[in-house]
Each structure stands twice: as structure tokens, then as C-alpha cells.
Amino acid sequence: MKKLCGLLMIGFLATLGILGWFGYQSYTTGFSAKAEPNELEVLIARQLRHLAIPYENRQLRNPLPVTQELMKDARAHFADHCASCHANNGSGETVIGRNVYPKAPDLRLPDTQTMSDGELFFIIQNGIRFTAMPGWGTGDPAKDSGSWQLVHFIRHLPSLTEEELQEMATLNPKTKKELQDEALIDQFLSGDDAAASSATDAHHH
């Protein structure tokens, strides 16, 4: 009984220490998304992320075989849905990725690459609370082939080729201005002189 009480007291004191540390961090840095998490915060966040994924999910293996067609679909999916935060190469070096808290991770590094298939799938499906990572899963997880395709693609990121990056660049979502410029170019190619003048003016500005 005394041993149990001792363990509970240690747990209580540890919890108070963590809460006090978070309180100190909030007091000194506020809630700025530009702050860099320190090593202890990163360690705690990783442990909580690991514990938040049910054991049975961590043991899952990717059920989809790797094919050229699958990887082509996965590149398109990543370029359209994920690259705005993670960049086409998975580095996280984007305007959004660098300005959220915590920063978007470099998916090519061991912290991500050593995760199991099931862990990656669970994160894609459900997101991560208190971060910018949303949950993309809809419906029955057993039928979510798109998320399993992304797991294969994430595994491939460290060896992504320049040709694949160029292909993905054509699949990234376009801004309103880019769409307008493309429409002007199409009009110019069809013989619209007024569109040609507008396209030239837009280029100079």
C-alpha cells in the first residue's frame, strides 16, 4: 500500500512539474506559433503521439502492393492535398509549414520514416490534435486506399527523383492569379489581342 501511495505521489508531482513547465513556457513565450519547441516539448509530444495510436493500429501493415500506377496516383494526391504544408519533397519548407506550431516535420527524416505503416495511416486518417495536421479519413478505414497509397509515397520521399518533382509541380493547386493568367494566355493563343495586352501588362507588374 505504501509503495502504491509512493508511486501515485511521484506521478502527481511529475504531473505538477509538467503543468508548471507549460505554464512557464506560456508566460515567457505566450501562444506564438513562431516559437520553436524545445527538446523536452518535442520528446513529450512524440511520446503522446505514440501513445495516442492504439496498439492494434500500430501493428497494421500496408495491404496495397506498390505499382507504378499506385505511385502515380499517390504523387497526384500528395501534390494536390498535402504539398501546401509539407512541400512536394516532404521537407515542410512552405509558407504554411514553417508558420504553424509545431512546424511541419521533414517527412524524409527518421522521425517519420521509422514509424510503422499503421502509425502513418492512423495519422493521415485521424490527424493530430493541437497541431495543423487534419484528419483526412472518411468512412470505413478498411476501404481507405487513398491513405494507404500516401503511406507508400511517404516511404518513397527520401528517394524522390527530379522528374517526379517536376511532375508534381504541375499538379499543385493554383492560385486565383495563376488561373487568371492561364485564362489570358489561352485567349491570346486563340487570337484575342485584348487578352494579349492584358497578359503583357500582368507580366510587367
Decide: 22 and 87 in contact? Cβ < 8 Å: no
Length, in residues, of the chain: 205
Which pLDDT band holds residue 32 (cuts at 50, 70, 90)? Answer: low
Q: Roughly what angle, to the nearest 10 degrees, separates helices 145-156 and 68-81? A: 90
In this predicted model, which residue has the larger pLDDT, 74 or 194? 74
CA distance 156 to 158: 6
**pLDDT confidence band for 120 (50 / 70 / 90):** very high
Which whole number is the average pLDDT over 149-174? 97
Average pLDDT over residues 112-138: 92
Please determine, for residue 199, whether its predicted confidence score (pLDDT) is greater than 60: no
Q: Tell me how far apart the alpha carbons of residues 124 and 133 are, in angstroms, rounded to a whole number.
A: 8
Q: What is the pLDDT of residue 52?
A: 80
Domain residue limits, the chain: 38-169, 177-205
* Largest interatomic CA distance in the chain: 89
Query: Average pLDDT for residues 151-160, to the nearest whole number?
Result: 98
Give 171's pLDDT tier (boundaries 50, 70, 90).
very high
Q: Is 135 helix (H, G, I), strand (E, B) or coil?
A: coil
State in words which class domain 38-169 has. Answer: mainly alpha
Bigger pLDDT: 100 vs 23 = 100
pLDDT band at 42; cut points 50, 70, 90: low
